[in-house]
Chains A and B, each alone.
Chain A
């Protein structure tokens, strides 16, 4: 009140604080000051003191390296500009990359520059020095060494690095009583135990999908997130490319909830996880196994009959595989079936040399601690306090160890409960080596000096060994010395670093005894609900939860971001009266958990499913408190399936953050994503253009005297993995907006993956800007900020844009994104505005400010690089010279980009393909981005054959 009265008072001029002259003087001073001060601030150029070898300022350098995921390596090529790694791409020479990447690889650069990274040793609630830690550790180590290592224990994740394993060997030699435990939350225990059951020894099965014509997956997701994803996705996509029905791979999939494999499959059934065993028995019986008949619903029986008939007909090219959630016996049975079928599967010795299962190892650890056998615990790059199964009591065990040192990239949950936390280097900061899941070794080379006072794992192990400290590079080189003669080492080393792969290091195939038929009795469906867990398609096991690109990466099927949800089958939801967003309370024995529900059509009734990796309490600014943590619910005996779960409605609702509905296109799914079968295609059923063709137009014709860029996206090959989405984000400086802005319907991804459900089958469609020749966004822009260039790109001129958003309203594809705030420039989410986080920016792309519209540019910066290179050399841009970020990332090579003006270019062949269609082509926008219709290869006899 008082303030108001004062304001009115002075407004009426009763008590003028300023007289007219003084006000005018001040005004003119302001004007003069403004005029005088509008020069730009001075800038500096800072050259090197000595230019590094091969460096040319302004030009990127590429280095081959490898990045770990769950302990296995994926080969990468890292782009570095002036010493800053800014982009990850695949290494074509590496068998687990084949030139493509996945979301985790793409997002790694953001983690490198994460402001929350641990920066210094920490103990007693304060920052410490490494020497203080060594002083504390040394007397303990001496004591353990005197007792042959008794009382010393090391807990790690999966380790496949030959150098690190050799270091462990040598530690073991000097301290035979030292204990080593290893635990990886996304475990493969059942798979490994399956080979033990079937063959009597540990082995890894490597399916050759390229040689397969019929594949039956039993709750398996070979193309889902994981270290094998890229390779298997490429193989399956390649095997499905053949456009002759008998040569194209046909995929059968039975699973409790949706997986990427299930979405791609030609025939897919939903089945409770425990009944998968009955299906496997049914298939085995079809192949002559003397097993007891299992009860199965009719629909599943039809599926089993069709699949069995198909695989029998294609012996030698048929393959059956089970997933990590299925028990070892089902895996053993699959091995037996594969043996009967002479399936295209190779076996190698296990790349992870630890014979123990992950959960068994952890169990031993807990009992050793309880037995008082652990006095000094070294936790190396693992976070068991967050991701260990709740049933084991790992947290209490760790806290019971008197001296516990955690080495990790972040001060995470485990670090908080350790007496010491020591920062580890990032994979882009150190020398190391790593094996891929098939055994292929790569050298990891540092792209940048450690940003903080951190050390790499090799140095830690060397510290434990108390050996004279040699640089990590020497440790790695010494390890590989034996691979070549002394004389050739220098050349070998250079070549290996260049290739990113150690030549001929893949594990050799082993021959195994014929798989025995396991004794396997059918089961009856369990009572009540079963909770099926899975790794998360965005944050995997939760270790990368503090990565904002991954948190904001829309999950396949649900487009959910910033959190996980409990997927409930449609029939169960109807029975319980549950709607999307209703919070459900889960109960299993004593344990309870509250999670928001998300209805999942096509999920098996009686199955609840969700993903791991959320609910972190100490992930950092970005990841802490996002989603619900399900790890405590895991049981070491059955880590993936929790049965006898009851659910009740908690009575309140939670907001689910999903992105797809923001950009729903108008139209029927059948028209937006036409589907056809191979039989249709052979019969010539599919029409190239929609009826009506291109309507008349007043737009000027496009230029014919230069390149004409165009993109073709194969909807058959898209598996919905999101690699392109994150690759685009990394390449084009696309900011994250954060959960609050997402809740308001805002999102900045230039590339999105739409999913359309036709006949209850989802299909994915990557949707970048269509670069319409007759772009509806252009005539409505009052300032010509949305405009065509001569090469057919619909460009957005950020500096002209005044933010009317008319273009966004007029875009039928909804691909334009508006900076409602300075998401990248001044109003960043969380701590992404800190200086170090800006190091991730690509210097060849503008960082857009507030109030500006933006969208896919077809990676115009890459086109420009190629154009300038071609023009300098006086030639035209070659076919395949411009590769967009999304195209480079795609594991299945679903995206192709090229020049339409070259009559022999592949893009013209793709656009002339009978499957080619334009999205909303009837609008006459003449998009330069076209699609190849989703192709399926169903069994024509499905449902006819009876057993």
Chain B
């Protein structure tokens, strides 16, 4: 069934092409000739081709964006950051019990936290200050007793891991009003320790760009139950003014050497 040339042109979008060919001048003779050719040729594209072409155009823009988004999502996902993953430990030490229940101070075990870059994992002797008297026969604590008896240290699985090129220092953070739970999460309710923050560079920088949002009074740093007050925005600014000497916390050399 013959279709009007103009209609075909409109459908296939060849009008412009046609008029460009003819220099914009409508030459009926050529038009007629083309119509004749169209009339006897089969269609190159089916109507759905239009839809496909438009979809491809959209996809060219959307797919890379989605891919980037996916990459971001994957890189920030728990699979990559290790966040919220609970590792098995040789002894199922419970912070919920020792900190939340008994109310031990963080520094009882993590002795280096105020002076050293690393907070420190307690030596077997620290465990035995209590457990030489309490629960001396439990199977759960057998590795501790074995460690003391044989002089071999306990190999704990590391929960909060930073890359080797990051030189994080606990002592400066606790001295400047960054509380333990701000990074380590609600330790008092963790039966087994898990990583509570993504520990990505972006996450570090969020705070290094705006430390006031996460600062608390130095006296509250080791309080595992401390909550940010509703007016943290105002209080934080005061604390930052009070504690912070360094106005250049985003310098590369602050963390990398």
Contacts and interface: CB of A to CB of B under 8 A. Distances in A.
Interface string B53-91: 000000000000000000000000001101000010000
B172 A798 contact: no
B246 interface: yes
Size category of the B interface is 35 or more
A58 B124 CA distance: 18
B156 interface: yes
A863 B118 CA distance: 18
Interface in B148-183: 148, 151-158, 161, 164-165, 167, 169, 171-172, 175-176
Interface in B91-146: 111-112, 115-118, 120-125
Given A790-B248, A868-B172, A58 B153 contact: no
A703 B125 contact: no
A906 B246 CA distance: 23
Contacts of B158: 42-45
A397 interface: no
A793 interface: yes
Contacts of B115: 56, 59
B256 A51 contact: no
A89 B82 CA distance: 41
Interface string A865-897: 001101110101000000000000000000000
A844 B257 CA distance: 8
A216 to B, nearest CB: 48
Contacts of B219: none
Contacts of B154: 46-47
B236 to A, nearest CB: 18
A868 B171 contact: yes
A51 B123 contact: yes
Interface string A778-810: 000000000101110101011100000000000
A871 B155 contact: no
A705 to B, nearest CB: 6
Interface SS, A side: loop
A868 B152 contact: no
Contacts of A469: none
A79 to B, nearest CB: 15
Given A845-B257, A857-B257, A867-B246, A47 B156 contact: yes
A58 B123 contact: no
A699 interface: no
Interface residues of A, number: 45
B231 interface: no
Contacts of B116: 56-59
Given A47-B124, A58-B112, A787 B252 contact: yes
Nearest to B148: A49
Given A43-B161, A844-B167, A51 B125 contact: yes
Given A56-B112, A706-B246, A47 B120 contact: yes
Interface in A121-164: none
Nearest to A799: B165
A47 B171 contact: no
A863 to B, nearest CB: 8
A846 interface: yes
A46 B117 contact: no
Interface string A85-96: 000000000000
B253 interface: yes
Given A789-B248, A791-B251, A42 B157 contact: yes
B165 A846 contact: yes
B253 A793 contact: yes
B144 to A, nearest CB: 10
Contacts of B152: 49
B147 interface: yes
B245 interface: yes
Nearest to B242: A874
Contacts of B20: none
Nearest to B245: A871
Given A790-B251, A799-B256, A868-B172, A57 B151 contact: no
B257 A846 contact: yes
Nearest to A848: B165
Interface of B: 79-80, 82, 87, 111-112, 115-118, 120-125, 147-148, 151-158, 161, 164-165, 167, 169, 171-172, 175-176, 245-248, 251-254, 256-257
A46 B118 contact: no
Nearest to B121: A47
A21 to B, nearest CB: 25
A705 B245 CA distance: 10
Contacts of B165: 798-799, 846
Nearest to B114: A872
Most buried by B among A705, A790, A861: A790
B171 A872 contact: yes
Most buried by B among A57, A799, A861: A57
Interface in A36-60: 38-40, 42-51, 56-59
Given A47-B123, A49-B124, A49-B151, A864 B257 contact: yes
A860 B248 contact: no
A160 B169 CA distance: 45
A46 B256 contact: no
A706 B247 contact: yes
B209 to A, nearest CB: 14
A795 B123 CA distance: 38
Most buried by B among A45, A793, A845, A864: A45
A123 to B, nearest CB: 33
A574 B79 CA distance: 72
5 contacts: A40-B161, A57-B118, A789-B252, A795-B253, A864-B167
B111 A56 contact: yes
A868 B161 CA distance: 22
A799 B165 CA distance: 8
Contacts of B164: 846-847
A56 B112 CA distance: 6
A790 B148 CA distance: 49
A867 B246 CA distance: 9
Contacts of B171: 868, 872
B88 to A, nearest CB: 10
A713 B176 CA distance: 36
Nearest to A846: B165
A46 B248 CA distance: 34
B248 to A, nearest CB: 4
A864 B124 CA distance: 32
A438 to B, nearest CB: 39
B247 A860 contact: no
Nearest to A40: B161
Contacts of A705: 247
B155 A46 contact: yes
Contacts of B175: 871-872
A871 B172 contact: yes
A50 B123 CA distance: 6
* 8 nearest A-B residue pairs (beta carbon): A58-B118, A58-B116, A790-B248, A789-B251, A47-B121, A48-B123, A43-B158, A872-B175
Contacts of B157: 42-45
